[in-house]
């Protein structure tokens, strides 16, 4: 009996230990420095950065695996995120410009192309990729933790947060990182809205729509995706919403209608019974016996019951050619999704955004909730910062904003400054050309993330992918002070000119008119001092930044390769020389040698290169190549360093050597 008692006590102690350390018994409490809410792509991306910097964190996910949204949506299982595997380049950073599904990591093979080779992959592949990401990186994810309440709490004088799950377990967090995405269906209340089917629950078998008339509320990708799936079965399909359809290839916003979903535009414009109609959703009503659409203004003034919608209050009774006068067999709501505010109590609830019809939380330029200190919003839920302007609501955009937020966290809570590369001014042009030709962050998050160049005299500090709208707080957020030498900001942006996207004159090829570029192109802004909050508010409409002291557009390029000597390199050098008041020409070693003998202040390139045992070694072959390429004047007599001429005659003809091409794959 004594032995059995000992055994029972040992078993009981093991069970209790397990419930406390791993299972967290009811009403237990655990603490972490960082709590990441949601194991979708944004939450896992932040988990990677927190893990790499060895921070105390936990990722809380209510479902049994990561990326649960993609196990349901899109309903018809085709992603519209590009998975372009073959680019003709080996440069991994460049290739991320055309890989819209992979997350960032230090594993060069941990890319989405391991899971799928399709240009538009099946949605089931994405949760599989996220599971692989979690497993290979060993991220700390707790599944089955359904957080039902979030409240603010005071932790040693700083606001923190307490999250409570369905089992009563409390998670105390100094910093809360919300990455729950948007998953609550957006609805509109109108007479008969209870008769409408939701995108989240409609059948996906096209045969169930055979010979039916279907009205779809909405004109986004979910609406067109639904229409496209039943296009060959439904008798007619009409799409109804307040706004005309917006095409992504016209607006450059990837959240607008993508070509992969727009087959109904053909059947509409080629007169095959389908169509698009504009009108306010709040102004419609739907009858019960037959799904007629009418307008509330035609109903009785006392708001009569929806079952009494009759022929007398249908629009067709008053206007016999009303577009939607025929009844429908089904009405489907495809209006997108909204952020779930319900889990936040009053002390922790972020405000609704002023844009995006209030569907998103309101956040600062550095992605911290407004009025909720130490709570940051990540991923699709943070799209209010660039809604309808850039790609921050999508994986290929927010993987970079998450990285930027992590750098802000490192500075604020651990006093680790924003990573910066210290460069001699003579190397700045080459560094800028490398970034505009390969960097994926500014390319994907155009107009939102930009490179900051802090000028320090003979050298500079280069900060990559800083949130542009937070520029007035640069020193605080980055830990990098400004000097009186000013700063440069490198941004990728589209032109503001309204042009026919596919018509003649849609592109600018003349570098002297680079400011008229319409397609994505690099723009450099020079400021003597840091712009203020007021400057940001008063910036010109459509500009990502306030008016600078000087601005330089690099002319758009059909190949998106800004590496040509006349159109790209030389204008950039002249602009930098104007801002820095410094000669930035590059010289061969022979030129630097002679200039060093004859001048007290040789050019900056020679001082920072040749005189430090660096530089371009010249010979007659290189000089001949430079003349043939048009980079140097072809003077009479073909003067070269080897000619028996006086130093003064040689220097009169010496000029800068300009690199004509750059191989960014090396």
**What pLDDT sits at residue 595?**
86
Measured CA to CA, the distance from residue 414 to residue 418 in angstroms comes to 11
**What pLDDT sits at residue 329?**
94
Half-sphere exposure of 225 (CA within 13 A, CB side): 22
**What pLDDT sits at residue 19?**
38
- Residues contacting residue 522 through CB under 8 Å, at least 6 positions apart: 432, 436, 490, 491, 492, 553, 554, 562
Domain annotation covers residue 632? no
- Residue 197 and residue 172 in one domain: no
Half-sphere exposure of 641 (CA within 13 A, CB side): 17
- Residue 327 and residue 379 in one domain: no
Burial 278-292 (b: 16+ CB within 10 A, else e): eeebeebbbbeeebb
Q: How many distinct structural domains can be found in the chain?
A: 3
Tokens of residue 387, six digits? 């809604």
Domain annotation covers residue 592? no
- Residue 42 and residue 174 in one domain: yes
Tokens of residue 343, six digits? 């889990």
- Tell me the residue range of the domain where 557 lies: 418-580
Would the pTM of this model clear 0.75, i.e. be above it? yes
- Residue 345 and residue 328 in one domain: no
Domain annotation covers residue 136? yes
- Residue 381 and residue 454 in one domain: no
- Residue 306 and residue 445 in one domain: no
- Residue 427 and residue 379 in one domain: no
**What pLDDT sits at residue 408?**
98
Check if the beta carbon of residue 444 is closer than 8 Å to that of residue 391: yes
Measured CA to CA, the distance from residue 115 to residue 127 in angstroms comes to 10
Residues in the chain with pLDDT values less than 50: 1, 6-23, 301, 303-304, 307, 636-666
Among residues 580, 614, 632, the one where a domain terminates is 580
- Residue 446 and residue 463 in one domain: yes
3-state secondary structure 160-185: EEEEEECCCCEEEEEEEEECCCCCEE
Question: Cα–Cα–Cα angle for 350, 351, 357, nearest 5°?
Answer: 130
Helix 41-52 crosses helix 125-137 at what angle (to 10 degrees)? 10
- Residue 364 and residue 301 in one domain: no
- Residue 402 and residue 477 in one domain: no
**What pLDDT sits at residue 631?**
52
Tokens of residue 640, six digits? 């070269």
Domain annotation covers residue 429? yes
Tokens of residue 7, six digits? 């055994």
Measured CA to CA, the distance from residue 601 to residue 598 in angstroms comes to 9
Nearest-10 Cα torsion for 600, 606, 607, 610: -120
Domain annotation covers residue 12? no
Domain annotation covers residue 303? yes
> How many C-beta atoms surround the C-beta of residue 535 within 10 A?
16
- Residue 38 and residue 153 in one domain: yes
Q: Tell me the pLDDT tens digit for each residue of 542-573.
A: 999 999 999 999 999 999 999 999 999 999 99
3-state secondary structure of 438: helix
- Residues contacting residue 140 through CB under 8 Å, at least 6 positions apart: 47, 51, 57, 58, 59
Measured CA to CA, the distance from residue 515 to residue 496 in angstroms comes to 10
Domain annotation covers residue 637? no
Question: Cα–Cα–Cα angle for 110, 112, 113, nearest 5°?
Answer: 100
- Residue 369 and residue 428 in one domain: no
**What pLDDT sits at residue 658?**
36
Partner residues linked to 275 by β-bridges: 238
Domain annotation covers residue 5? no
**What pLDDT sits at residue 287?**
79
> How many C-beta atoms surround the C-beta of residue 456 within 10 A?
14
- For residue 217, what is the domain's CATH number? 3.50.50.60
- H-state helical runs in 417-519: 428-438, 441-444, 474-478
Among residues 548, 580, 612, the one where a domain terminates is 580
């Amino acid at each position: 009996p004594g032995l059995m008692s000992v055994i029972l006590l040992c078993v009981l102690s093991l069970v209790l230990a397990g419930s406390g350390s791993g299972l967290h018994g009811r009403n237990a409490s655990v603490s972490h420095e960082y709590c990441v809410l949601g194991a979708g792509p944004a939450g896992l991306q932040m988990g990677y950065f927190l893990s790499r910097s060895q921070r105390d964190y936990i990722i809380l996910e209510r479902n049994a695996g990561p990326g649960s949204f993609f196990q349901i949506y899109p309903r018809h299982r085709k992603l519209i995120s590009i998975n372009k595997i073959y680019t003709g380049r080996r440069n991994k950073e460049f290739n991320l410009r055309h890989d819209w599904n992979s997350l960032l990591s230090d594993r060069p093979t941990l890319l989405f192309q391991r899971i799928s080779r399709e240009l538009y992959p099946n949605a089931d592949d994405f949760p599989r990729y996220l599971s692989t990401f979690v497993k290979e990186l060993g991220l700390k994810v707790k599944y089955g933790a359904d957080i039902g309440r979030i409240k603010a709490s005071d932790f040693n004088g700083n606001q923190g947060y307490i999250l409570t799950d369905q089992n009563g377990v409390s998670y105390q967090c100094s910093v809360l990182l919300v990455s729950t995405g948007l998953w609550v269906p957006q609805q509109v209340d109108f007479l008969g809205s209870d008769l409408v089917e939701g995108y989240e629950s409609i059948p996906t078998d096209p045969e169930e729509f055979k010979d039916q008339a279907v009205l779809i509320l909405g004109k986004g990708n979910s609406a067109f995706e639904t229409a496209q799936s039943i296009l060959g079965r439904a008798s007619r399909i009409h799409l109804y919403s307040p706004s005309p359809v917006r095409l992504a290839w016209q607006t450059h916003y990837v959240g607008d209608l993508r070509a992969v979903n727009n087959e109904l535009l053909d059947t509409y414009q080629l007169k095959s019974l389908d169509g698009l109609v504009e009108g306010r959703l709040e102004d419609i009503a739907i009858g019960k016996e037959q799904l007629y659409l009418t307008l509330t203004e035609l109903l009785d003034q006392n708001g009569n019951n929806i079952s009494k919608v009759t022929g007398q209050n249908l629009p067709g009774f008053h206007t016999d050619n009303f577009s939607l006068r025929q009844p429908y067999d089904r009405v489907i709501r495809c209006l997108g999704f909204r952020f779930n505010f319900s889990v936040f109590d009053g002390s922790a609830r972020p405000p609704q955004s002023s844009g995006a019809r209030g569907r998103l939380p309101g956040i600062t330029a550095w992605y911290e909730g407004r009025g909720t200190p130490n709570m940051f919003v990540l991923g699709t839920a943070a799209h209010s910062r660039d809604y309808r302007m850039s790609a921050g609501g999508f994986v290929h955009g927010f993987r970079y904003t998450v990285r930027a937020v992590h750098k802000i966290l490192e500075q604020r809570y651990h006093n680790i400054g924003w990573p910066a590369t210290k460069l001699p001014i003579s190397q700045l042009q080459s560094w800028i050309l490398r970034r505009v030709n390969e960097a994926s962050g500014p390319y994907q998050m155009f107009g939102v993330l930009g490179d900051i160049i802090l000028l320090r005299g003979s050298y500079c500090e280069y900060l990559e992918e800083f949130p542009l709208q937070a520029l007035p707080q640069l020193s605080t957020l980055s830990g990098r002070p400004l000097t009186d030498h000013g700063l440069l900001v490198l941004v990728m942006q589209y032109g503001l000119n309204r042009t026919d996207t596919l018509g003649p004159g849609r592109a600018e090829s003349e570098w002297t008119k680079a400011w008229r570029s319409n397609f994505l192109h690099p723009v450099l802004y020079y400021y003597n001092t840091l712009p203020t909050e007021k400057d940001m508010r008063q910036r010109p409409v459509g500009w990502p930044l306030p008016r600078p002291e000087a601005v330089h557009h690099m002319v758009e390029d059909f190949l998106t390769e800004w590496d040509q000597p006349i159109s790209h390199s030389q204008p950039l050098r002249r602009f930098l020389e104007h801002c820095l008041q410094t000669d930035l020409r590059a010289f061969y070693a022979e030129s630097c040698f002679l200039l060093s003998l004859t001048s007290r202040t040789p050019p900056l390139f020679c001082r920072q290169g040749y005189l430090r045992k660096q530089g371009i070694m010249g010979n007659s072959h290189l000089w001949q190549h430079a003349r043939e390429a048009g980079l140097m004047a072809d003077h009479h007599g073909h003067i070269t360093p080897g000619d028996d001429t006086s130093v003064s005659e040689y220097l009169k003809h010496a000029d800068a050597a300009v690199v004509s091409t750059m191989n960014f794959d090396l």
